[in-house]
């Protein structure tokens, strides 16, 4: 199990950095310092490797979302935490990853998209209901509709054709998506708290920059 985990994490790192098509099984074995025979004892082929990687990804994401919710004092802090998690996970992501999945592993991509949509909807609907109950989100909105709209926007953010003319990376797109969403759903009370959280986040980022100058 330890070797399998090591293989999946290294392959994921390479795919995210260079894209899926350009990374071969030989590349992965070489990076890990193992033989291709050993690699194929863990995965049947590249498609199986990708499927296992994303099973691990979804499991870790589910746990991360639960932790963020438990540690957040309110719905806005929770949503911003989710945003930071997504941005962190997509930083440095090769723009060809989604394209490669769509072109060369279409059935796997469709399966991943279906699961992603279901997971995102569940996370957002829970957050919306929490925020409404706390008086931080607009009481006049329809949570089901807003959650479905959010799911649709995450799909658009991953659409290469929609953003092919811009130079923004995936992490930037997700951050803007979160801010766009939050400004649309917060109540007057919620906007004040949102500004407070964003100001604290900005101060934290500045502190980090001062501690780790380029």
Domains identified in the chain and CATH numbers: 55-211 (1.10.357)
DSSP 8-state secondary structure symbol assigned to residue 35:
-
pLDDT of 9 above 80: yes
Question: Is the pLDDT confidence value at 214 over 60?
Answer: no
Kindly report, residue by residue over 96-119, the tens digit of the pLDDT: 888 899 899 999 999 999 999 999
pTM of the model: 0.86
CA distance 47 to 75: 38
Side-chain-facing half-sphere of 137: CA atoms under 13 Å:
24
Strand partners, 186: 137
pLDDT reported for residue 156: 83
In terms of phi and psi (left: phi > 0; alpha: psi -120 to 50; beta: otherwise), the region of 72 is beta
The most confident of the ranges 62-76, 77-91, 146-160, 194-208 is 62-76
What pLDDT, on the 0 to 100 scale, is given for residue 123?
96
pLDDT surpassing 70 at residue 75: yes
The residue count of the chain comes to: 214
Place of tokens 């979804």: 58
3-state secondary structure of 158: coil
CA of residue 206 relative to chain centroid, distance: 24
pLDDT band at 190 (very low <50, low <70, confident <90, very high): very high
Give 189's pLDDT tier (boundaries 50, 70, 90).
very high
pLDDT at 154 over 90: no
């Amino acid at each position: 199990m330890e070797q399998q985990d090591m293989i999946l994490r290294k392959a994921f790192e390479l795919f995210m950095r260079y894209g899926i098509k350009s990374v071969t099984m030989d590349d992965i074995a070489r990076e890990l310092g193992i033989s291709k025979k050993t690699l194929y004892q863990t995965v049947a082929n590249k498609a199986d490797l990708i499927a296992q990687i994303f099973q691990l990804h979804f499991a870790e994401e589910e746990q991360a979302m639960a932790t963020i919710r438990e540690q957040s004092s309110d719905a806005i802090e929770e949503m911003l935490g989710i945003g930071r998690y997504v941005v962190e996970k997509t930083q440095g992501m090769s723009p060809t990853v989604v394209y490669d999945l769509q072109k060369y592993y279409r059935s796997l991509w469709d399966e991943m998209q279906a699961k992603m949509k279901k997971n995102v909807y569940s996370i957002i609907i829970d957050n919306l209901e929490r925020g409404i109950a706390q008086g931080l989100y607009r009481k006049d909105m329809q949570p089901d509709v807003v959650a479905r709209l959010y799911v649709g926007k995450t799909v658009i953010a991953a659409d290469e054709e929609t953003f092919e003319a811009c130079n923004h990376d995936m992490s930037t797109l997700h951050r803007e998506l979160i801010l766009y969403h939050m400004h649309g759903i917060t109540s007057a009370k919620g906007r004040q708290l949102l500004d407070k959280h964003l100001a604290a986040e900005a101060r934290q980022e500045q502190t980090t920059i001062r501690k780790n100058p380029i």
